[in-house]
Amino acid sequence: MMEIKELRDDLKLYLKKHNLLKKYNKAKGLFENNPLHPSLNTEILEPKHRLIYSFRIDIQYRAIFLYIDDNEIEIIAITNHYK
């Protein structure tokens, strides 16, 4: 089972500020059970050699992450996908 490392305080604040906590927790649960769940739209970002990935929190926001090992990721940013 996949595990998401605890978020940094600045990312928690961003989620709270943009009213995304509930959506993030839902996406987190989906990701931890199945990182390739269709609604997450998990993808590797360009340039691919950097091994930076993202999954969808909602239609507008995405979590940017790195794999720490085979079973753990760290979210490094939460971004507005359309800005």
Express each pLDDT in 7-48 by its tens digit. Answer: 999 999 999 999 999 999 999 999 999 999 999 999 999 999
pTM for the complete prediction?
0.94
d(CA 66, CA 69): 9
CA pseudo-torsion sign 56, 58, 59, 60: negative
For the cut 70, the answer to whether the pLDDT of residue 4 exceeds it is yes
**Which class is 3-80 in CATH?**
alpha beta
For the chain, domain boundaries = 3-80
For 43-68, how does the pLDDT look when each residue is reduced to its tens digit (9 = 90+)?
999 999 999 999 999 999 999 999 99
CA gap 26, 46 in Å, rounded: 26
